């Protein structure tokens, strides 16, 4: 399946928030009903937990809308953490200490940013097996401290995404998130794993956040004699990670090597602590909606809208 076909699959399964150009016509709040969107502010310099209505700008299609209220979400946060445990290339040093430190900082930052928070943890190589399920947060630190690379060079990230969506589907809405940490491993899932992964993420309503190592640590995809089906599987995984993150209000970060995992995952954790319910004046009918902040911080719109 080509990358364009993957994107078509994602568009069909997910409600995509398309950014429309800003217009000049302003609709007064008294002339329209209200609508509330669940948004995430990308927090690159620490959590952004003190924003108010005046800090947000809302648009529907080409029209600016009055922002009537903005409240930091106090809803429970559920995070399904998928971590690549594939074996590095022969002769390469496994990123054991960097990965353990990055995951520990991610969890610590999440705990500081959310009062009501739970995490499931799924280390993934030749199989996706949830090591710590929701409701067992006390076991997470010890499980992370035991992170080691598997003997398998493949990682079934697509299978893990399918499992994540199923696990999150019945968790409290709207703060459902999947966080993927991958090491540029070979995708072990076949093409048939794509559609279930996309559909499961759509059904869960979860946002997708991905931190990918794309340097020298585990550069499996660059092997010149790699079999064609494996190259195709890797391209499929890349398309799913990119397109699902974009479609459902998440984001993707790429770092050169494992030393970059910790700062990137801290940003993800701070970003998940910067989620708001924003109420705005709404003109009836289906609309393409987008948000900005007056400070220039990026705003991502989740699938949840009421």
Looking up residue 138, the CATH number of its domain turns out to be 3.40.50.410
Give the pLDDT score at 229: 52
pLDDT mean for each 10 residues of the chain (306 residues): 54 42 41 87 96 97 93 96 92 92 98 92 96 97 96 94 97 96 91 93 96 68 46 85 94 95 98 97 85 97 82
Same domain for 202 and 172: yes
Same domain for 82 and 52: no
CB 264 within 8 A of CB 211: yes
Supply the range of the domain harboring residue 282. Answer: 3-74+272-305
Conformational region of residue 16, where left means phi above 0, alpha means psi within -120 to 50, and beta covers everything else = beta
Give the Cα separation of 113 and 269 in Å (integer). Answer: 8
Same domain for 204 and 102: yes
Q: Tell me the whole-structure pTM to 2 decimals.
A: 0.86
The tens digit of pLDDT for each residue in 103-161 reads: 999 999 999 988 899 999 999 999 999 999 999 999 999 999 999 999 988 999 999 99
3-state secondary structure of 193: helix
Give the pLDDT score at 219: 46
How many structural domains compose the chain? Answer: 2
Give the Cα separation of 140 and 214 in Å (integer). Answer: 26
Positions of E strands within the chain? 26-27, 34-41, 56-60, 63-65, 67-72, 77-84, 117-124, 154-155, 176-182, 186-187, 207-213, 251-255, 275-281, 289-293, 299-305
Same domain for 111 and 235: yes
CB 254 within 8 A of CB 181: no
Same domain for 124 and 66: no
Same domain for 285 and 179: no
Buried b (16+ CB within 10 A) or exposed e, 99-112: bbbbbbbbbebbee
Give the pLDDT score at 62: 81
Name the nearest CA neighbour of 276 among 72, 91, 131, 23. Answer: 72
Same domain for 98 and 36: no
3-state secondary structure of 2: coil
Give the Cα separation of 55 and 107 in Å (integer). Answer: 28
Question: CA 275, 280, 284: angle at the middle one, nearest 5?
Answer: 125
Same domain for 228 and 186: yes
Cis peptide bond upstream of 267, omega within 30: no
Sign of the dihedral defined by the CA atoms of residues 218, 222, 224, 228, in that order: positive
Same domain for 59 and 32: yes
Same domain for 162 and 48: no
Same domain for 58 and 137: no
Give the pLDDT score at 41: 98
Same domain for 264 and 287: no
Question: CA 51, 293, 284: angle at the middle one, nearest 5?
Answer: 100
CB 205 within 8 A of CB 175: no
């Amino acid at each position: 399946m080509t990358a364009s076909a993957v994107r078509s699959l994602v568009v069909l399964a997910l409600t995509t928030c398309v950014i429309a150009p800003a217009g000049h016509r302003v609709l007064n709040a008294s002339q329209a009903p209200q609508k509330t969107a669940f948004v995430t502010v990308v927090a690159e310099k620490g959590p952004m937990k003190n924003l108010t209505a005046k800090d947000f700008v809302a648009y529907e299609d080409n029209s600016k809308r009055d922002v009537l209220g903005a409240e930091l979400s106090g809803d429970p946060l559920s995070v399904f953490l998928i971590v690549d445990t594939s074996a590095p290339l022969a002769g390469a040093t496994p990123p054991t200490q960097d990965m353990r430190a990055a995951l520990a900082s991610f969890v610590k930052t999440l705990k500081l940013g959310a009062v009501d928070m739970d995490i499931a943890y799924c280390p993934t190589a030749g199989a996706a097996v949830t090591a710590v399920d929701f409701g067992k947060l006390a076991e997470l630190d010890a499980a992370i401290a035991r992170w080691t690379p598997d003997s398998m060079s493949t990682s079934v990230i697509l299978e893990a995404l399918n499992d994540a969506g199923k696990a999150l589907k019945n968790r409290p809405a709207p703060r459902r998130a999947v966080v993927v940490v991958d090491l540029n491993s070979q995708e072990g899932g076949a093409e048939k794993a794509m559609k279930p992964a996309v559909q499961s993420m759509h059904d869960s309503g979860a946002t997708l956040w991905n931190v990918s190592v794309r340097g020298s640590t585990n550069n499996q995809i660059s092997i010149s004699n790699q079999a064609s089906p494996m190259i195709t599987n890797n391209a499929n995984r890349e398309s799913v990670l990119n397109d699902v993150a974009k479609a459902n209000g998440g984001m993707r970060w790429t770092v050169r090597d494992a030393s970059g995992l910790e700062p990137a995952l801290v940003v993800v954790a701070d970003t998940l602590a910067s989620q708001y319910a924003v109420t705005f004046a709404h003109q009836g009918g289906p609309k393409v909606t987008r948000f900005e902040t007056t400070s220039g911080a990026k705003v991502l719109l989740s699938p949840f809208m009421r």
